Amino acid sequence: MTLSSLAKLVPSVDWDLYVHHLLPSNSAKHPSQIVVTSPDYIAKVSKLVGTETSTRTLQAYLAWRVMFAFGDALGEDIRGPIRRLNSKITGTNPKSVKPRWDTCLDEVNEDIGFLAGRYYVLNKFGGNAKEKADEFVNSIKEVFLARLPKLEWIDDETREKAVQKVDELVRKVGYSDVTPDIMSPVSLSDYYADLEIQNDTYFENYIKARTFAVEEEWRQVGKKPDRSKWLMNPQEVNAYYNPSFNEIVFPAGILQNPFFGSNYPDYLNYGGIGVVVGHELTHGFDNMGRHFDAKGRLVQWWTNETAAQFDEKAECFVKQYSNFTMVDVNGEAIHVNGRLTLGENLADNGGLGEAFVAWKERYDSDKESKRYNNVRLPGLDQLSPEKLFFVNFGRVWCNKVTPAQAKKGVLTDEHSPGKWRVNGAVQNSNHFAKVFNCPVGSPMNPTHKCELW
């Protein structure tokens, strides 16, 4: 939208003043257009702010948001009440306090994450980890492409463009090597040149770092997007698919145990990081990612018929996951939101199937030469490599949460709870049912399965 059209939609906010305040001082002019991701929501906010809320209430709310945002960086007299509030929300013990070193490490990651990432990469990401991760991406990509012709619900026109999207998929593994180059002290120094850190001014550093981050974001206004830039630090245990750039990104932090081990047998690595690779690739074709083409443009590249088929099949997952429940603080069942979690559920299911097929094809073709590592684990002779693939898939999503935190996750997180990320996906897996000999009609092998990618 243009600023003037946004002003008409949301008249309660002085957008011209807001944008002017955030733009760098050397910026020549305001952007001609800005992206409004949720116009319905922001229009309702305008009404709430403009006519339905008193000035005193708004002032109190804004003051509270400032306190909540900055309270953790202040003294115990401020941190304590906020910690007690968060404990109520998550059901944890308010007396349980993270050691100070842990808090400070979090702050280093938040403020100068790329700089800290250099030392993490030097210490933890060596050998052939990058090459092996590329192998996983290649093998799973090939499985996805090989499956496309077998999906009868996709017509030829859409299938051809889906192949193009996979072919043009950009992959980033390990760490940033351009903006900045993690391995170059000079590049890092240039990147953080405008951020001044003092040894004895913790709160000032906190403010400066957040100001630096906002200014860094707004410096991009009017410029061509930097496709080399990473949205995560190399030490993060996470991964992502960026639809605007059609890229999948795997920081060095997730290329560690239990997701990936250089000495792990392939069946464990494919059940861990392999599923993550398939998960991120499938995000390019979930209910949100599918709207972006091979170049990352938000265009309609699906035919109407294929789009309708997709929606029909996706609805199966919505219904399935909406039947899953967690127990809240009162011992009552609270249902997973199958529509909120749809994209992640599609990615979990697609990633699991793609990773298993990629590993099994590699395993079956390698029985004689033993080029790949699929040695059996001592003491686990009763579990075949096929079974251990699924065991490790379950292992990487093991977690323990309080009932209050579980409820908060169900209400707000686009991911299903860990239990259902695993059990939901294996319920739909014919491979799992065959490997574990699950009777047809049993909870882990229902008669009707949801399937898309």
Active site positions, annotated = 280, 348
Cα distance between residue 353 and residue 275, in whole Å: 8
- Extract the tokens encoding 156: 């030829």
Q: What is the DSSP string of 108-135?
A: HHHHHHHHHHHHHHHHHS-TTHHHHHHH
Cα distance between residue 260 and residue 253, in whole Å: 10
| DSSP 8-state code for residue 376 | P
Cis before 180? omega within 30? yes
Write down the residue that tokens 């080399």 correspond to.
Answer: 228
- Extract the tokens encoding 382: 């009763």
Cis before 378? omega within 30? no
Say which residues have a Cβ less than 8 Å from residue 400's Cβ, sequence separation at least 6: none
447 and 441 in contact (C-beta within 8 Å)?
Answer: yes
Q: Give kind and range of the element (H or E) at residue 333.
A: strand 333-335
Cα distance between residue 291 and residue 294, in whole Å: 10
389 and 268 in contact (C-beta within 8 Å)?
Answer: yes
Torsion of CA 15, 19, 21, 27, to 10 degrees: -150
Write down the residue that tokens 């002003």 correspond to.
Answer: 7
Cα distance between residue 329 and residue 313, in whole Å: 34
Cα distance between residue 386 and residue 431, in whole Å: 9
